Homo-oligomer: A and B are copies of this chain.
Amino acid sequence: MTRIATLSETRSNCHDCRLRSLCLPDNLSKEDIGELDSIVQRRKPVARGAYLFQAGQRFNSIFAVRTGSVKASTLLANGDEHISGFHLPGDVIGLDAIVSRDHPSTAIALESTSVCEIPYAELESLGDRLPTLQHQLVRIMSRELLAEQSTGHLLTRRAAEQRLAVVLLKFSERFANRGLSALRFRLPMSRLDLGNYLGLVPETMSRTFRRLEEQGLLSIAGKEIEIVDVCAIKALAYGNNEGDLAAKA
C-alpha cells in the first residue's frame, strides 16, 4: 500500500527477473523481451486469502507468479472445495481458460503474492509477430500438461504415505528448479489444503507426516520440511511398493 513498495514492484521488468528462464521471456532476444515487457502489468501484491480471479469470471489475462504462492480450486456441486494445484513463482496461471471465455477455476493467494498480469489478447497479437514468444507459450503449456499428467494420476492410486512422498518430491524438484534447496523447504499451504489436493483428510495427513518422521525419512517443523532420507522417499514414491494395488507379477 505504501508508495515506495509499489514503486519498487513496478520498477521490476522481465529482463532483470530471476525467474525469466521459467517464464515467457525464455529464449527471447533482448528486444523481444522489451516488447513483452511493455504489455506486462505489475500490480501491488495480492493479500493472503485474496482472489487473483474466480471461477466463472471472464478470462482476460494470464498471470505469472513472481513471489508468494497460489492455490487453484473449484467448487463442487455439494459445496466442497476441490484444490487442483499449487503455483509457485515462475508458474503461469490461467492457461486452462484460453479455450473457453471463462476461468474454470479460482486462484487464491496462499500468502502475500505478487504476480505479473499479461492481457491475453495482447499476448496473442504479439505472438503473431514474435514466433519465439509463441513457441515459448506452447512450451510452457506443454510443460504444464506434462506436470498435470505426472502428478494427477500418481495420486490416484497408492496409499497415503506414497501420495505424500510423491507430492513432497514434486515440490522438492520445483523448489530446486527455482534455485532453492531441494531438501529443506517450506510448504506454503496448510495441511488441510494439501490433504484436499491429495484426497486425504487432515487426520490422515497428520498421522502420515508423523509416521514418515518416525521412520526417519522426514524432519518436520510446522510448514518447514526437511527431507532426511531422499532415497527412501523415492523408493516409497516410485519404487518397489509392496503395499501397492494392482501389482502385476
Residues of chain A touching chain B, judged by Cβ–Cβ distance below 8 Å, are 72, 74, 76-85, 95-100, 104-105, 124, 127-128, 131, 134-135, 137-146, 148-158, 195-202, 238-241, 244-248
Residues of chain B within 8 A of A100, CB atoms compared? 146
Residues of chain B within 8 A of A128, CB atoms compared? 131, 134
B199 near A156 with CB under 8 A, answer yes
A139 near B98 with CB under 8 A, answer yes
Nearest-neighbour CB distance to chain B for A228, whole angstroms, equals: 21
A239 near B97 with CB under 8 A, answer no
A152 near B150 with CB under 8 A, answer no
A80 near B244 with CB under 8 A, answer yes
Chain B residue with minimal CB distance to A239?
Answer: B77
Q: Compute how far the CA of A79 lies from the CA of B156 in the bound complex, rounded to whole angstroms.
A: 17
Q: Compute how far the CA of A131 lies from the CA of B126 in the bound complex, rounded to whole angstroms.
A: 11
Nearest-neighbour CB distance to chain B for A16, whole angstroms, equals: 25
Nearest-neighbour CB distance to chain B for A177, whole angstroms, equals: 13
Given known pairs A78-B241, A156-B156, the reply for A84 and B149 (CB within 8 Å) is: yes
Closest 3 CB pairs of A and B: A152-B152, A157-B199, A156-B199
B201 near A245 with CB under 8 A, answer yes
Q: Compute how far the CA of A200 lies from the CA of B153 in the bound complex, rounded to whole angstroms.
A: 12
A145 near B146 with CB under 8 A, answer no
Q: Compute how far the CA of A127 lies from the CA of B127 in the bound complex, rounded to whole angstroms.
A: 11
Residues of chain B within 8 A of A74, CB atoms compared? 150
Residues of chain B within 8 A of A154, CB atoms compared? 82
Residues of chain B within 8 A of A85, CB atoms compared? 149
Residues of chain B within 8 A of A138, CB atoms compared? 98, 137-138, 141
A96 near B142 with CB under 8 A, answer yes
Residues of chain B within 8 A of A149, CB atoms compared? 72, 84-85, 96, 104-105, 148, 152
Chain B residue with minimal CB distance to A137?
Answer: B138
Residues of chain B within 8 A of A139, CB atoms compared? 98-99
Q: Which one of B79, B142, B157 contacts A98 once the chains associate, using CB atoms below 8 Å?
A: B142
Residues of chain B within 8 A of A157, CB atoms compared? 82, 199
Residues of chain B within 8 A of A241, CB atoms compared? 78
Nearest-neighbour CB distance to chain B for A89, whole angstroms, equals: 19
